[in-house]
Amino acid sequence: MSATDPAIATVLHDSEVAAPESVFRHTAIAGVLAGVGGIYLAAIGLLLLLHERPIIVDVLSLGHATLIFTGIGAGIAAARGNEALGPRLLRGLMAGVIGGAVLSLLPLLMSAVSLRYMFISLSPQLLQMLTFDSDTVTQGCLILIAAGAVTGLIGAVMTLTPAAIRRHLMVASGTVIVAGVLQQLIQIMLQTSELLTQLNEVLYSWDGLMLQGAVIIFVVAFALSVGYSALTARRAANAAAQTPAARKRAQLINGLIIVAILVVLPLVAGIYVGQVMMLVGLYILMGMGLNLEVGLAGLLDLGFVAFFAVGAYVTALLTADNPHALAAMSFWTAMPIAVLCSIMVGVMFGIPVLGVRGDYLAVATLGLGEIVRVIVLSDFAAPLLGGAQGLLQVPRPVFFGIPLSGPVQLFYLTLVCSMVAAYCAWRLENSRLGRAWMALRDDEDVAQALGVNLVRVKLLAYGLGAAFAGLAGSIFSTMLGSVYPSSFQLVISINVLALIIVGGMGSLPGVVVGAAALVGLPELLREFGEYRYLFYGAALILMMRIRPEGLWPSATRRRELHADDDLLVSPAE
């Protein structure tokens, strides 16, 4: 042995001694974070609010489910590693116990000292929830610690199960939670036919989802997830052997199935779901327009809501039955004019910022959007635009004598416009102009050196993107029957930009997925009040951490974000 061998042995011995301490510290941190997270949710009042919504009647509430998932998350975080079964289970158990012990400090403190003068949400009802309606607080705290140990152990077990099984379990559990939380909406949907009414009686009671219904939904969702995974794997295996024509035919069939579902769903789900789907459709239209500017051309636009406002106001001025109206046109005549006016405003917006790049471009477009908002509210334009009072009595469209008066009928109008817009955006993306936009996004100087006319390309991006927003604004004015300046705030531009980022930059399917996730889900969770924005923000943070390329990114975007991952993988020896 060489002279350095004793030194190496000493270092190895020290690392072996320090390893258990590091593992215990990691386990303790996971447990403490889980407990502190539960205390935070209780202090802000969210935990009690969630507890008021049952998932399974008299069995599980959404508040208790939150604590369960917190404990499972602590167990998963603590049990990660390559150790044997026993140590990993022990670490998960310890993390759950620590998390339950930290959380149990809150009911002990609430029973000893009144804290409601500082935290109004720390009510007796919360104390009953945390102690599981036990006779004494001490007994409830022991139950809380035991529940933490069980959930932490479950989390450790999940790290040992195959990834496919974990995915199926998560899908099945999520389906049960959705079926319980949205039980009022689902029960309304199940009243449309006698067969669905019988299914409703099996799954739900008057108060909500029953235990037998939850078991049925879990089993069916798990089986469907397994079947879908197997079908996807088989189709992926057969994709290489398919001809391009066969692949296109399969894509066409899938698209027709999706369209058929979208056509039938509002009729089955009712007016409220139709209203939500229409709102999602309007954001899809705006998202497709902003995707041309940001996703393809790389032109960050925070004043995009101005084009939306132009489309709405022009439609109202040309169709409304009020003193401010300029004409008495039908919606079908006014809509193309509104889109044309939006294009003109988009080009006018693009001219002052032709030489601006990066963050300065975002600030400049933000200023232009605010200019439009100030003009609409000003006394100078009030004789024409109505000022703060807006424009009233905007009529609904009439299609071959059939008035499109309800949310469901207007949704079909939005769906058709969205499909036409999606086709135009798809053709633009694969055209010479689309390739020029992508070259501009990658490097403006190189694109100009290669012969791309920057002025023409940028103005076309602003103008065509504004056309989609103007179309959405035109439909929006007929949906409300009125146009108010308060409907066109900066938050609309931010929401459209957020749905593009979450869905996937430069991806048309990503726009649809992002709009459904960031617009549809918060609307369905409106009953949770302002707390739904807490879910909204948490989802955005997790999205940026876990999947920065978006839910359905384009192939180019995925390669850009994961190019370094391939470089970090060492070649096999």
DSSP for 479-531, written as a single string: HHTSB-GGGS-HHHHHHHHHHHHHH-TT-HHHHHHHHIIIIIHHHHTGGGTTH
Tell me: the pLDDT tens digits for 518-549? 888 777 777 666 667 777 777 778 777 777 77
- CA 148 to chain CA centroid, nearest Å: 30
Same domain flag for 151 and 215: no
Show the beta-strand stretches assigned E in 208-314.
Answer: none
Same domain flag for 80 and 174: no
Domain end among 133, 160, 187: 160
Domain-located, residue 397: yes
Same domain flag for 278 and 354: yes
- For the entire predicted model, the pTM comes to 0.80
Residue keyed to tokens 């997925």: 513
Tell me: the pLDDT tens digits for 390-438? 888 889 898 888 888 888 889 999 999 999 999 999 999 889 999 999 9
Same domain flag for 363 and 456: yes
Yes or no: say if 411 and 272 are a contact pair by the CB < 8 Å rule. no
Q: Are strands 398-399 and 402-403 parallel, antiparallel or unpaired?
A: antiparallel
Residue 287 pLDDT: 93
Domain-located, residue 376: yes
Distance CA 528, CA 568 (A): 44
Domain-located, residue 565: no
Same domain flag for 289 and 325: yes
Close Cβ partners of 381 (under 8 Å, ≥ 6 residues apart): 375, 387
Domain-located, residue 572: no
Domain-located, residue 362: yes
Q: What tokens appear for 270 in the block?
A: 């009712």
The percentage of residues in the chain with a pLDDT greater than 90, rounded to a whole number, is: 35
Domain end among 489, 520, 545: 489
Domain-located, residue 217: yes
Same domain flag for 306 and 179: no
Yes or no: say if 468 and 479 are a contact pair by the CB < 8 Å rule. no
Same domain flag for 217 and 301: no
Closest-CA residue to 52 (of 123, 158, 142)? 123
Yes or no: say if 62 and 54 are a contact pair by the CB < 8 Å rule. yes
- Give mean pLDDT, residues 97-106: 94
For residue 570, is it left (φ>0), alpha (ψ between -120 and 50) or beta? beta
Closest-CA residue to 532 (of 545, 543, 523)? 523
What distances in angstroms separate CA 174 from CA 41, 65, 219, 527, 536, one per listed residue?
20, 11, 12, 19, 17
Distance CA 158, CA 49 (A): 29
Distance CA 378, CA 381 (A): 6
Domain-located, residue 527: no
Per the model's pLDDT, the better-predicted residue between 11 and 57 turns out to be 57
Yes or no: say if 167 and 254 are a contact pair by the CB < 8 Å rule. no
- CA 356 to chain CA centroid, nearest Å: 31
Three-state DSSP at 330 gives coil
Domain end among 447, 472, 489: 489
Cα three-residue angle 479-480-482, rounded to 5 degrees: 125
Same domain flag for 75 and 105: yes
Yes or no: say if 274 and 404 are a contact pair by the CB < 8 Å rule. no
Domain-located, residue 480: yes
Yes or no: say if 407 and 281 are a contact pair by the CB < 8 Å rule. no
Distance CA 566, CA 446 (A): 26
Yes or no: say if 385 and 249 are a contact pair by the CB < 8 Å rule. no
- CA 458 to chain CA centroid, nearest Å: 30
Same domain flag for 106 and 184: no
359 by Cβ neighbours in 10 Å (0-12 / 13-18 / 19+) ranks as exposed
- pLDDT higher than 90, residue 112: no
User: Virtual CA dihedral for 403, 404, 405, 408, nearest 10 degrees?
Assistant: 150
Three-state DSSP at 55 gives strand
Tell me: the pLDDT tens digits for 239-279? 666 777 777 777 788 778 888 888 888 887 778 888 888 99
Residue 562 pLDDT: 60
Q: What total number of domains does the chain contain?
A: 3
Beta bridge partners of 391: 483
Same domain flag for 419 and 455: yes
Same domain flag for 73 and 201: no
Q: What tokens appear for 174 in the block?
A: 């999520």
Q: Which helix (H) or strand (E) holds 488?
A: none
Same domain flag for 155 and 186: no
Residue 18 pLDDT: 40
Domain of 134?
21-160
Q: What tokens appear for 395 in the block?
A: 């009529």
Closest-CA residue to 480 (of 419, 393, 408, 565)? 393
Tell me: the pLDDT tens digits for 163-213? 889 899 999 999 999 898 888 878 877 877 788 888 888 999 888 899 999
Per the model's pLDDT, the better-predicted residue between 10 and 282 turns out to be 282
Q: How many CB atoms lie within 10 A of CB 365?
A: 25
